[in-house]
């Protein structure tokens, strides 16, 4: 059965990028890359990249292609790369050089700093050979300039003054001002493109259709989406013919939700849940778990489809999680939520290495300084979460327990944690951090009544279906899955031996013998995903 599922999954992924739909993206997990900072060409000096210098370090589309094993071995099924269009070319600005790719000059031309057209095609081809999707960041709202006048537009895609809004500083909170006035500042102004102009609309549609087709792109991440009028997006994304996820920066759920749906975009980045996760888990912080449960409740009436939202903990515009939170367990618990609840999980490069840069530019570190270490706790945890999520998606499709399309529900919440259930999978999360504490969370499950327990982790499923999760070993996140759903998953193998590893080794996996109490009893596998690694046990219920 496992071999069949692997073959089925491979065939389902080996496809071209023609009309990669929202539904096809729903089951993906995405690794976000800043092209300049992911990998260096052979022979380049790996010591010459200080994020504070705000200049080019040398990453290219070819070097991404050459290092895809690192991404795929972590279980990701898609990458999102920074914009590919031509950027400002000129003297260094007060904010450095456009190494990040967001200072567009002419969208119709490629950024030669990152490679050639053949290089980008080769990256796309290699991804598709691996069954992975390519998402490209695009900037529509603005182009980069050195002054606020519009006298010389010869280097831009749009060359007429009427194709831009006149300069004005943004009045934040005023939707019209946010959409018609200019981002940036007087040091590096970002000319606001007039996306109501029919010539602009038509040109953008032609461009994006050609870009997607020429480079076999599967999806678009749209920068500063809320700074463009909502009704621009349906025709733009229709011309692209692929999934569109937009950046709507801020935690105002009404505003973010207004950009998802048939009259807007397929999806948005999940900034409201990001804010809730930081409020619930960051240490030090408010440790307010109700922020998550409140947000999940509001989702039910606000968002058209929470299952398409992009879940994240870090990106190029935010401080790294490890910069905000001193305890790694806080990130691990929040990470489990992003993978095991509704939405598409997105991991920003370096999160798996524990990078701790603050805001821009310090959160844009070079990845090569990590040595592409695949033995960190976070990397191995992500690989396991991806493996479990991918298996649940492909093994429950078209069944009564369709995990991917089920809605996550809250089972219990307390001051120090919460439990959610998506399909038949329960995730128990806590914000107590790494130190052991004499605390426990009572989780009210739908599992059959029983008092059996294993001799390892001492979890007891009570007669009313209550599972008591204690934290005497620290605040590990735990994921509970009925055993019949894990048959042939290669997770917590059904073996009768215990693999012992040295006490200090990371990401150890313990396998415990499954003892069947009777023909009528069922089993639940309990994954304890911890800062010391992975703990797999079986609990009879």
What is d(CA 288, CA 282) in angstroms, rounded to the nearest whole number? 10
The backbone torsions φ and ψ at residue 176, rounded to the nearest 5 degrees and listed phi first, read -65, -45
Evaluated on CA atoms 184, 255, 138, 106, the torsion sign reads: negative
Q: Which of 265, 267, 191 is nearest to 231 (CA)?
A: 265
Catalytic residue among 97, 218, 247, 266: 247
Active site residue 499: no
In angstroms, the CA 487 to CA 510 distance is 17
Catalytic residue (one of 97, 218, 223, 424): 223
Q: Which residues contact 529 (CB under 8 A, 6 or more apart)?
A: 332, 336, 381, 384, 385, 476, 477, 478, 479, 535
Provide the token pair at 308: 């398409």
Task: Give the number of other CB atoms < 10 A from CB of residue 69.
Answer: 11
In Å, how far are 12, 31, 273 from 131, measured between CA atoms? 8, 14, 29
CA distance 355 to 32: 14
What Cα–Cα distance (Å) separates residue 502 from each residue in 134, 505, 506, 509, 530? Answer: 39, 6, 9, 11, 16
Rounded distance, CA 208 to CA 21, Å? 16
Total Cβ atoms within 10 A of residue 270: 29
Q: Give alpha helix (H) positions in 328-456.
A: 328-340, 377-395
Question: Distance (Å, rounded) from C-alpha 522 to C-alpha 532?
Answer: 29
Instruction: Provide the H-helix boundaries in 198-350.
Output: 198-215, 233-240, 253-257, 271-281, 290-302, 321-324, 328-340
3-class DSSP state of 160: coil
Distance CA 59, CA 52 (A): 17
Comparing C-alpha atoms, which of 177, 175, 133 is closest to residue 25? 133
Q: Is 223 a catalytic residue?
A: yes
List residues with catalytic annotation.
223, 247
């Amino acid at each position: 059965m496992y071999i069949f599922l692997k073959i089925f999954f491979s065939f389902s992924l080996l496809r071209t990028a023609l009309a990669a739909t929202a539904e096809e993206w729903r089951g993906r997990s995405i690794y976000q890359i800043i092209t300049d900072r992911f990998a260096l060409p052979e022979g380049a000096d790996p010591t010459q990249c200080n994020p504070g210098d705000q200049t080019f370090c040398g990453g290219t589309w070819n070097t991404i292609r050459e290092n895809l094993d690192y991404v795929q071995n972590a279980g990701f099924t898609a990458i999102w790369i920074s914009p590919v269009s031509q950027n400002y070319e000129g003297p260094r600005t007060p904010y450095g050089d456009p190494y990040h790719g967001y200072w567009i000059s002419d969208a119709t031309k490629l950024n030669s700093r990152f490679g050639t057209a053949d290089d980008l095609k080769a990256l796309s081809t290699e991804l598709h050979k691996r069954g992975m999707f390519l998402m490209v960041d695009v900037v529509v709202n603005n182009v980069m300039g050195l002054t606020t006048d519009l006298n010389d537009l010869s280097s831009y895609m749009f060359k007429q003054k009427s194709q831009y809004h006149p300069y004005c500083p943004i009045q934040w909170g005023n939707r019209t001002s946010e959409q018609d006035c200019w981002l940036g500042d007087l040091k590096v102004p970002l000319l606001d493109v007039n996306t109501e102009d029919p010539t602009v609309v038509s040109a953008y549609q032609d461009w994006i259709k050609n870009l997607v087709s020429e480079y076999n792109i599967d999806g678009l991440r749209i920068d500063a989406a809320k700074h463009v009028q909502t009704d621009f997006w349906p025709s733009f994304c229709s011309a692209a013919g692929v999934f569109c996820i937009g950046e709507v920066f801020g935690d105002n759920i009404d505003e973010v939700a207004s950009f998802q749906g048939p009259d807007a975009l397929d999806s948005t980045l999940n900034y409201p849940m990001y804010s809730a996760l930081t409020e619930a888990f960051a240490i030090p912080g408010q440790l307010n778990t109700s922020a998550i449960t409140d947000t999940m409740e509001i989702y039910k009436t606000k968002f058209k489809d929470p299952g398409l939202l992009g879940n994240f903990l870090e990106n190029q515009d935010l401080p790294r999680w490890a910069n905000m939170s001193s305890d790694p367990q806080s990130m691990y618990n929040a990470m489990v939520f992003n993978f095991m609840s509704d939405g598409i999980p997105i991991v920003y490069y370096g999160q798996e290495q524990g990078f701790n840069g603050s805001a821009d530019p310090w959160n844009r570190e070079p990845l090569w300084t990590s040595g592409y270490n695949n033995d960190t706790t976070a990397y191995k945890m992500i690989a396991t979460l991806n493996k479990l999520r991918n298996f649940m998606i492909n093994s429950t499709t078209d069944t009564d327990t369709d995990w991917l399309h089920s809605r996550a529900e809250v089972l219990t919440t307390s001051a120090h944690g919460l439990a959610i259930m998506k399909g038949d999978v329960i995730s128990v999360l806590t914000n107590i951090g790494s130190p052991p504490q004499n605390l426990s969370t009572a989780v009210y499950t739908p599992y059959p009544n029983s008092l059996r327990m294993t001799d390892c982790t001492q979890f007891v499923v009570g007669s009313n279906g209550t599972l008591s999760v204690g934290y005497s070993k620290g605040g590990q996140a735990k994921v509970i899955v009925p055993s019949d759903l894990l048959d042939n998953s290669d997770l917590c193998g059904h073996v009768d031996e215990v693999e012992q590893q040295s006490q200090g080794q990371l990401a150890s996996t313990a396998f415990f013998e499954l003892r069947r109490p009777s023909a009528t009893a069922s089993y639940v596998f309990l994954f304890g995903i911890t800062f010391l690694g992975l703990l797999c046990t079986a609990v009879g219920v």
